[in-house]
């Protein structure tokens, strides 16, 4: 449950010294950016644009897994697909010093995409279609392949064993049991879908719009899986189903210019939504020993959160039952 190593020793001096060890001259300006899984900084460089430095959470990924993701994004960059790839210095993209592994990136400007802007949605669709088309040329060897059943069981058990307040434990166990039945029922069909290298966390917060195109950021969670595992996150922010359908249509209009999509995969949207709900809660639990998490997620131990969480799980269970995944 706990992290084997924390970021407690990652002081500003350590960050700046590590960057300067690669030959850059830092000007002393250092801003920590919004990231919890890793630590990400904007670093001022003398007479040059600032750099973005990502320090990886120790113990989460192997070197091989990080380098596979780097290789994917560097190849996308070579194909002129707007995905942010790490800098390479002397043919290396992953560096290690003071027990921390890190990568450097150029700073990409831009703004959050506008859901109401159909041209932007179609452009986003074209770009993710290109990413998927290239991602389908081979699979990761070291990174994970999505496993709805096993991951959900582990996530649910972690929360049940360590975090659910006693007053809500019986309800959580009963509702999550029903969810797990449906996730397990869907696993064989999901495993049978064509798999490819995905972005892995393809929500709008990981896209910057810089006219005339979007830039896809943060492939840190990239894995092997079916297309729907990325696509559903791009059209599910609103509760307005008609609005979501219009978004989806425009997105797929652009997407299918570069890569085909079987609409039958849309049936698994609610499965991946349930999967994300369970895993997001477990992710907070896994990182609770990191001091940044209790500060950022103070509501995690509150009664109101667990009441709302149980309600959300119940609603998601009902949505899934309507899709008929129980065998």
Question: In angstroms, what CA-CA distances link 62 with 57, 67, 68, 263, 316?
Answer: 11, 9, 10, 35, 34
Q: Which residues on adjacent β-strands are paired with residue 25?
A: none
d(CA 214, CA 237): 18
Q: For strands 213-216 and 196-197, give the pairing.
A: unpaired
Compute CA 105 distance to the chain's CA centroid, rounded to the nearest angstrom.
18
Give catalytic residue positions: 201, 218
Q: Which ranges of the chain does DSSP label H, i.e. alpha helix?
A: 12-20, 63-78, 118-135, 148-162, 166-192, 228-231, 241-255, 269-286, 292-296, 303-323
C-alpha dihedral sign at 319, 125, 133, 230? negative
């Amino acid at each position: 449950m706990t992290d084997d190593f924390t970021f407690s020793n990652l002081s500003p001096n350590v960050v700046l010294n590590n960057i300067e060890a690669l030959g850059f001259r830092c000007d002393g300006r250092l801003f920590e950016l919004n990231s919890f899984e890793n630590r990400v900084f904007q670093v001022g460089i003398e007479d040059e644009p600032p750099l973005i430095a990502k320090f990886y959470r120790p113990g989460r990924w192997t070197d091989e897994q990080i380098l596979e993701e780097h290789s994917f994004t560097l190849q996308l960059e070579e194909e002129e697909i707007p995905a942010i790839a790490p800098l390479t210095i002397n043919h290396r993209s992953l560096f290690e010093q003071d027990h921390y592994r890190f990568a450097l990136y150029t700073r990409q400007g831009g703004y959050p995409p506008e859901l109401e802007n159909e041209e932007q949605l179609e452009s986003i669709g074209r770009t993710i279609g290109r990413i998927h088309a290239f991602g389908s040329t081979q699979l990761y060897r070291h990174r994970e392949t999505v496993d709805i059943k096993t991951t959900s069981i582990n996530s649910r058990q972690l929360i049940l064993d360590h975090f659910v307040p006693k007053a809500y434990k019986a309800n959580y166990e009963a509702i999550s049991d029903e969810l797990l039945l449906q996730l397990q029922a869907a696993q064989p069909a999901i495993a049978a879908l064509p798999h490819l290298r995905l972005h892995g966390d393809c929500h709008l917060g990981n896209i910057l719009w810089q006219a005339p195109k979007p830039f896809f950021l943060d492939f840190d969670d990239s894995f092997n899986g079916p297309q729907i595992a990325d696509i559903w996150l791009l059209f599910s922010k609103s509760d307005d189903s008609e609005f979501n359908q219009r978004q989806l249509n425009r997105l797929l209009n652009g997407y299918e210019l570069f890569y085909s999509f079987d609409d039958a995969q849309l049936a698994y949207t609610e499965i991946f939504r349930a999967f994300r709900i369970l895993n997001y809660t477990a992710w907070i639990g896994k990182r609770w020993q990191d001091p940044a998490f209790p500060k950022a997620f103070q509501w995690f131990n509150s009664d109101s959160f667990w009441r709302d969480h149980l309600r959300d799980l119940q609603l998601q269970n009902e949505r899934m039952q309507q899709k008929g995944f129980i065998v």
